[in-house]
């Protein structure tokens, strides 16, 4: 833009900014001549807390956030957009900047140097009055730093091959975001699809829902016919860009995104398998980028090149690029753990598209299946509705976890991830193998109808040098129940907790042999011998993390349900007898676990406390009764759980 055009634009713009709206036209022209023009890319820092104050700024287009504190501990104050101004407080007080400003969407700014700002204030009392009222309003309303509630999140989604089922994945994911969170979803298709294709996905053509969405675009850059709108009955919309116009979007894309910010919660740009100027601009501007890949050895080189190109454009940032696998091309491919290593990914890629009839025939998968997987799993993550279940320690009292799972299953409450400690690890792992309470019950409490059978099938005594029980029977029980599964075989993502007894460190198990991880987690000190696994001597995870809510937080659960069976006082009520050695051990573990549970509840959305007082640690034959205690405790809070899920 020429300098003369910039000033003409600024004169017109300043008349619409509240700070200058009361100033006569001739003075606006004079004021505009004092401003300077600058452009900032997404993620740029305009100034930092503590910097010298030399300018105030007005946003012509784009968006910024203002925050105080160190980078690791940001306290967000607010987000500013078109017409907002910032930086004037430091000029008025003649102090260093008290906050930092970061660009969140490519921004065009007009700025005024300190000397010109002071001159402006002295000549225009209206501006001084406006500012004084603004600050008074902030003070009276208790204005303070607060965390921003994002107006929208921008995604791109692309593929390394045109035949990976990208459209099936995209529209299935959009359906589940809309139906499970009620968030407003817009899919932008820069590459024209035939109307017949859109109809196969259940999309109907509609008039433009809001002409103002294009209000920031220069009028000479587009015609109404360049855009076509579609609607799905679940609520999400699709904006198609006609062929030949998409390259014109490159320079004005930030303006279009700015318009979308206030109407939609989630905006997804479908880049298909292309990666030209428009696609590169979209990747740079969007918050997150999803890449659907072919996992065959033949395609690996192309996958690496595409991933590298996207990461280069996306730049640094936490979790800016996510990778998922499609199984539509090639029945056999590289193991996903190997893909993680060969592509230097931060996590093992999940399967986003499998060989289903709907994927092969361009149809949306609308079923609410459990276990959650594929497009629905990604949708629940994007929508922020993933439910995590933390199952705590508790020896035989942990059978009550099965009752909780039974109620959740009967009520259709779908669990997205599980974290388990000790007995919670055993119950959680077996449930995660099939996602079925019937299967879980068959391989646990149904095996132990009597104390004698329980002792026969669980207890394998050894010389008590390091513990009374070897733990092999318990490990074999789990291995049989899960068919010797690896963590990758579990249908529900599961995380198990143990403790390295030599270092006193909490250890998280999420890869490898599940039965060995369970054996490590349930090694009650003095009851089971410590278990050497992955080069460490492992004991009961409940010593440090008896109800592993913290693990679910780390793994991104949006809502957490915790089940605690080792609350203080859950040991047997009979205090008249002198306890034997096993009784002493049982009570000791209960006390340790009970004390260690303090603090987890405040991190949970709902905590379930089955009434298991009066049951001993080795009452494995009382599974039916303990399961009923879990059912009763869960039924008492099921209305809260349903409200949480909805």
Which spans in 291-449 are helix H? 300-314, 336-342, 357-360, 374-383, 400-410, 423-434, 437-442
- Here the tokens at position 150 are 């994002």
Nearest alpha carbon to residue 122 among 194, 205, 31: 31
- Strand, helix or coil for residue 592: helix
- Here the tokens at position 414 are 């779908």
Token look-up 């001597």 returns 537
- Here the tokens at position 157 are 């989604």
Q: How far apart are CA 93 and CA 86, in angstroms?
A: 14
Comparing 135 with 140, which gets the higher pLDDT?
Answer: 135
Name, in order, each residue with C-beta under 8 angstroms of 474's C-beta and a sequence gap of 6 or more: 426, 458, 518, 519, 522, 528
Q: What pLDDT, on the 0 to 100 scale, is given for residue 523? A: 76
Listed range (175-179, 424-428, 475-479) with the worst mean pLDDT: 475-479
Q: What pLDDT, on the 0 to 100 scale, is given for residue 119? A: 81
Question: Residue 397: which pLDDT band, with cuts at 50, 70 and 90?
Answer: very high
Q: What pLDDT, on the 0 to 100 scale, is given for residue 609? A: 94
User: How far, in whole angstroms, is CA 127 from its chain's centroid?
Assistant: 44
Q: Is the pLDDT of residue 350 over 90?
A: yes
Question: Residue 570: which pLDDT band, with cuts at 50, 70 and 90?
Answer: very low
Q: Is the pLDDT of residue 467 over 60?
A: no
Count Cα neighbours of 581 within 13 Å in the Cβ-side half-sphere: 6
Q: Is the pLDDT of residue 526 over 70?
A: no
How many degrees, rounded to 5, is the angle at CA 484 between CA 482 and CA 487? 80
- Strand, helix or coil for residue 593: helix
Q: What pLDDT, on the 0 to 100 scale, is given for residue 2? A: 54
- Here the tokens at position 149 are 């509630």
Q: What pLDDT, on the 0 to 100 scale, is given for residue 145? A: 45
The per-residue b/e assignment along 344-383, b for 16 or more CB within 10 angstroms, e otherwise, is: eeeebbbebbeebeebeeebbbeeeebbbbbbbbbbbbbb
Instruction: Give, in order, the Cα–Cα distances in Å from 553 to each of 400, 439, 525, 603.
Output: 23, 28, 27, 8
Q: Is the pLDDT of residue 140 over 50?
A: no
Q: How far apart are CA 432 and CA 440, in angstroms?
A: 9
Question: Residue 81: which pLDDT band, with cuts at 50, 70 and 90?
Answer: confident
Strands 237-241, 100-113: pairing kind: unpaired
Question: Residue 6: which pLDDT band, with cuts at 50, 70 and 90?
Answer: low
Mean local confidence (pLDDT), 486-505:
92
Q: What pLDDT, on the 0 to 100 scale, is given for residue 512? A: 92
Looking at the chain, the whole-number percentage of residues with pLDDT higher than 70 is: 84
Nearest alpha carbon to residue 146 among 82, 51, 85, 79: 79
Q: What pLDDT, on the 0 to 100 scale, is given for residue 454? A: 77
Listed range (101-115, 298-312, 486-500, 570-584) with the worst mean pLDDT: 570-584
Q: Is the pLDDT of residue 244 over 60?
A: yes
Question: Residue 230: which pLDDT band, with cuts at 50, 70 and 90?
Answer: very high
Listed range (107-121, 141-155, 481-495, 619-633) with the worst mean pLDDT: 141-155
Q: Is the pLDDT of residue 360 over 60?
A: yes
Active site residues: 422, 540
Mean pLDDT for all residues in the chain: 84
Q: What pLDDT, on the 0 to 100 scale, is given for residue 462? A: 61
Mean local confidence (pLDDT), 274-286:
90
Q: In what order do the strands lie in the sheet with 288-294?
A: 204-206, 227-231, 237-241, 185-189, 266-272, 153-159, 288-294, 321-326, 350-353
Q: Is the pLDDT of residue 202 over 90?
A: yes
Q: How far apart are CA 212 and CA 510, in angstroms?
A: 49
Q: Is the pLDDT of residue 587 over 70?
A: no
Instruction: Give, in order, the Cα–Cα distances in Å from 298 to each of 37, 55, 290.
Output: 50, 56, 21
Strands 45-47, 153-159: pairing kind: unpaired
Name, in order, each residue with C-beta under 8 angstroms of 498's C-beta and a sequence gap of 6 or more: 506, 507, 509, 517, 520, 521, 523, 533, 538, 539, 540, 541
Q: What pLDDT, on the 0 to 100 scale, is given for residue 538? A: 83
Q: Is the pLDDT of residue 477 over 60?
A: yes
Instruction: Give, in order, the Cα–Cα distances in Å from 369 to each of 284, 366, 414, 555.
Output: 34, 9, 9, 22
Mean local confidence (pLDDT), 72-92:
77
Mean local confidence (pLDDT), 400-414:
96
Question: Residue 441: which pLDDT band, with cuts at 50, 70 and 90?
Answer: very high
Q: What pLDDT, on the 0 to 100 scale, is given for residue 134? A: 61
Q: Is the pLDDT of residue 377 over 90?
A: yes
Q: Yes or no: say if 82 and 48 are a contact pair by the CB < 8 Å rule.
A: no
pLDDT in tens, 451-464: 888 777 777 666 55
pLDDT in tens, 33-52: 888 889 999 989 999 988 98
Question: Residue 196: which pLDDT band, with cuts at 50, 70 and 90?
Answer: confident
- Here the tokens at position 524 are 């009650």
Q: Yes or no: say if 351 and 374 are a contact pair by the CB < 8 Å rule.
A: yes
Question: Residue 251: which pLDDT band, with cuts at 50, 70 and 90?
Answer: confident
């Amino acid at each position: 833009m020429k300098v003369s055009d910039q000033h003409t634009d600024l004169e017109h713009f300043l008349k619409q900014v509240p700070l200058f709206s009361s100033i006569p036209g001739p003075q606006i022209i004079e004021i505009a001549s004092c401003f300077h023009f600058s452009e900032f890319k997404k993620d740029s820092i305009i100034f930092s807390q503590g910097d010298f104050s030399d300018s105030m700024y007005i946003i012509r287009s784009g968006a910024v956030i203002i925050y105080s504190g160190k980078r690791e501990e940001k306290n967000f104050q607010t987000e500013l957009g078109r017409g907002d101004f910032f930086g004037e407080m430091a000029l008025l007080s003649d102090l260093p900047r008290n906050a930092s400003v970061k660009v969140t969407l490519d921004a065009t700014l007009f700025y005024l140097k300190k000397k010109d700002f002071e001159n402006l204030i002295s000549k225009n009392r209206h501006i001084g009055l406006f500012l004084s009222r603004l600050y008074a309003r902030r003070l009276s309303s208790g204005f303070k730093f607060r965390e921003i509630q994002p107006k929208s999140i921008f995604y791109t989604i692309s593929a390394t091959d045109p035949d990976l089922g990208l459209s099936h994945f995209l529209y299935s994911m959009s359906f589940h975001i809309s139906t499970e969170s009620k968030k407003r979803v817009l899919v932008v298709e820069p590459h024209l699809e035939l109307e017949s294709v859109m109809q196969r996905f259940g999309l109907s053509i509609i008039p433009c829902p809001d002409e103002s969405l294009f209000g920031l675009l220069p009028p000479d850059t587009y015609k109404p016919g360049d855009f076509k709108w579609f609607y799905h009955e679940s609520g999400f919309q699709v904006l198609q860009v006609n062929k030949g116009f998409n390259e014109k979007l490159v320079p004005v894309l930030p303006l279009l995104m700015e318009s979308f910010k206030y109407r939609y919660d989630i905006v997804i740009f479908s880049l298909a398998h292309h990666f030209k100027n428009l696609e590169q601009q979209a990747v740079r501007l969007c918050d997150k980028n999803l890449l659907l890949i072919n996992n065959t050895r033949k395609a690996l080189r192309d996958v690496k090149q595409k991933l590298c190109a996207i990461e280069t454009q996306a730049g640094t940032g936490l979790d800016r690029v996510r990778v998922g696998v499609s199984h539509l091309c090639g029945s056999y491919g590289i193991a996903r753990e190997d893909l993680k290593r060969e592509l230097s990914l931060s996590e093992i890629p999940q399967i986003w598209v499998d060989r289903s009839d709907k994927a092969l025939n361009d149809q949306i998968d609308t079923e609410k299946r459990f276990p959650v997987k594929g497009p629905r799993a990604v949708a629940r993550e994007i929508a922020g509705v993933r439910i995590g279940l933390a199952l705590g320690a508790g020896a035989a009292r942990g059978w009550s976890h099965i009752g909780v799972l039974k109620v959740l299953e009967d009520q259709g409450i779908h669990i997205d991830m599980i974290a388990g400690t000790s007995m919670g690890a055993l119950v959680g792992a077996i449930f995660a193998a099939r996602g079925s309470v019937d299967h879980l019950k068959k391989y646990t409490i149904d095996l132990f109808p009597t104390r004698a059978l329980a002792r026969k099938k669980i207890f394998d005594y050894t010389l008590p040098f390091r513990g009374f029980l070897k733990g092999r029977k318990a490990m074999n029980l789990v291995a049989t129940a899960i068919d010797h599964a690896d963590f990758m075989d579990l249908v529900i993502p599961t995380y198990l907790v143990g403790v390295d007894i030599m270092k006193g460190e909490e250890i998280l198990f999420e890869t490898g042999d599940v039965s060995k991880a369970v054996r490590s987690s349930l090694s009650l000190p003095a009851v089971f011998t410590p278990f050497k696994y992955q080069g460490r001597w492992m004991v009961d995870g409940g010593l440090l993390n008896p109800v592993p809510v913290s693990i679910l937080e780390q793994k991104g659960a949006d809502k957490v349900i915790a089940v605690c069976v080792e609350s203080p006082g859950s040991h047997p009520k009979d205090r008249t007898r002198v306890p034997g050695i096993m009784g002493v051990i049982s009570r000791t573990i209960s006390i340790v676990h009970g004390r260690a549970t303090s603090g987890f509840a405040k991190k949970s959305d709902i905590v379930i406390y089955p009434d298991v007082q009066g049951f001993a640690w080795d009452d494995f034959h009382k599974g039916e009764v303990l399961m009923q205690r879990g059912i009763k405790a869960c039924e008492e809070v099921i209305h809260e759980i349903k409200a949480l899920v909805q």
